[in-house]
Amino acid sequence: MVGQVNDDYCDCQDGSDEPGTCKIILVVHICSPSSLCCAAACSNGQFYCTNEGFRGQYIPSSRVVDGVCDCCDGSDEELAKKQCINTCDEAGAAWRVAEAERIRVAEAGAKAKLDYIKQAQAALDDAEGAKAKLTAQRDAAKDKVAEAEGELETAKAQADANALQQHSNDAREVLKALDLAGSSADDLGAILVQLARTVKGGAPALTKLAETAALKRGVEEKNIGHIVWPMDVSEDAASAKDPGLKAAEASVAAAKSDQSEAQKALDALQDKQGKDYGPQNAFFPLDGKCVDFKQAQYTYHVCPYGSAKQDHTLLGNFEGFGENFSTMRFTNGQTCWNGPARSMTVKLVCGAEETLSSVDEPSKCEYTATLTTPAVCDDRFAKPIDVELVKDEL
Ligand code: MAN
């Protein structure tokens, strides 16, 4: 009822029937949204500042004519004849710069998010195909390991035979050169003991010779092991190894490394298939990424699908997302002295890339931080804000 307007009684919930202190009364219908006025009679009434050069703003009517300049155009204090400095142009310019930056980040973030989604699609959509490929790779490498191990055995036997042959040739040459071919067993024995004691590789070499001799004589091999040389000088000179043996060892090592690489990739893919990467799997590229942020005396290190740390102190392991993928929770960190296990809640904000900031510890050993990531960008925000729709928090 028109009679209820400005009757100093608050009829409407939003106070629009009581624009008592308004300089322009726009009320056409009672409780209309077009009543852009403050309302003295209503505690929740609002006053609209035009703020030319900046953006329109609602303030609680209680702030009108209270001696404090709330609106940048000073319109809230006009009736009080208070001189307010008009700061709208300055505020508007700063706002426009910030708004341009916000749009730039939102656009870059939305673009990066599309790429994140594509990466996830490429990795996850054909996960079964990729798994089959990796399984085949792993199995082929496994067969190669068995084959290379067989070749290694042959190479070892060949190297042993070569070494024995070489040793006996050398022995013959040495005896000839030293004119010891006709020496007594005692003399030769003394020389051999001396060699085993003083020459690196002498003892194993002499063992080999003893083996050959024993085999020739048909002595049981186990007895050979009982020969105790005065000093065991172990032979480890890889460079002295038979080249065939070295090549066979290298192929076994390469085949084993291929097998373990393929197995690792397979395990990682299986692990990824079981994780929650959010809507359109946009969080997929964050798995395996880590970001650092230095604040005060600490460096904070957050790996979105891994753990959060304060230097070397574990603040928590990734537990999951908070409501609507707006936060990430890290729990079960290192226990706080006389307190709970540390934990961290990371707020997710749209950004062109991952950056960590604003670490806080609002309650002892419970940490908060902000992580920007394209994963939460929404291209609807990559548009200029309709200034007239902005309503300040009251
Ligand atoms: C360390 C840090 C702090 C924490 C105290 C609790 O100094 O982890 O963040 O508040 O321990 O004793």
Q: Tens digit of pLDDT per residue, the chain (394 long)?
A: 555 554 556 666 665 555 444 433 333 333 434 344 444 445 568 899 999 999 889 999 889 999 999 999 999 999 888 889 999 999 999 999 999 999 999 999 999 999 999 999 998 888 888 899 999 999 999 999 999 999 999 999 888 888 788 778 877 777 777 777 888 888 888 888 888 888 888 888 888 877 777 777 765 555 555 555 444 334 444 335 788 889 999 999 999 999 999 999 999 889 988 999 999 999 999 999 999 999 999 999 999 999 999 999 999 999 999 999 999 999 999 999 988 999 999 999 999 999 999 999 999 999 999 999 999 998 887 777 655 444 443 3
Residues 302 and 341 placed together within one structural domain of the fold: yes
Ligand 1 contacts CB of residue 89 (under 6 A)? no
Any idea what the Cα angle at residue 120 is, between residues 115 and 123, rounded to 5°? 125
Q: Considering the domain boundaries, does residue 323 fall inside one?
A: yes
Q: Separation of 337 CA from ligand 1 center, angstroms?
A: 8
Q: Considering the domain boundaries, does residue 35 fall inside one?
A: yes
Residues 161 and 263 placed together within one structural domain of the fold: yes
Total domains, the chain? 3
Predicted pLDDT of residue 173: 79
Task: Tell me the three state secondary structure of residue 331.
Answer: strand
pTM of the complete model: 0.61
Residue 27 DSSP code:
-
Residues 284 and 267 placed together within one structural domain of the fold: no
Residues 264 and 325 placed together within one structural domain of the fold: no
Ligand 1 contacts CB of residue 337 (under 6 A)? yes
Predicted pLDDT of residue 177: 77
Ligand 1 contacts CB of residue 313 (under 6 A)? yes
User: Partners of 317 in the beta sheet?
Assistant: 307, 331
Ligand 1 contacts CB of residue 336 (under 6 A)? yes
The domain in which residue 325 lies consists of 280-380
Residues 205 and 252 placed together within one structural domain of the fold: yes
Give the closest residue (by CA) to ligand 1 atom 4.
365
Question: CB under 8 Å to 200, separation ≥6 — which residues?
Answer: 233, 235, 237
User: Partners of 332 in the beta sheet?
Assistant: 316
Q: 360, 369 in Cβ contact below 8 A? A: yes
Out of 67, 86, 105, pick the residue that ends a domain. Answer: 86
Q: Considering the domain boundaries, does residue 157 fall inside one?
A: yes
Out of 63, 86, 109, pick the residue that ends a domain. Answer: 86
Closest CA to 344 of 390, 308, 293: 308
User: Which amino acid is it at 382?
Assistant: A
In which element (H, E) is residue 23 found?
none
* Substitution site in 342, 361, 365, 366 for ligand 1 pocket (most atoms within 8 Å of beta carbon): 365
Q: Considering the domain boundaries, does residue 392 fall inside one?
A: no
Predicted pLDDT of residue 306: 97
Predicted pLDDT of residue 283: 98
Q: Separation of 365 CA from ligand 1 center, angstroms?
A: 6
Out of 86, 112, 132, pick the residue that ends a domain. Answer: 86
Q: Decide the pairing of beta strands 327-332 and 57-60.
A: unpaired
Ligand 1 contacts CB of residue 335 (under 6 A)? no
Predicted pLDDT of residue 201: 84
Compute the distance between CA of residue 303 and CA of residue 328 in angstroms, rounded to an integer.
Answer: 11
Residues 161 and 254 placed together within one structural domain of the fold: yes
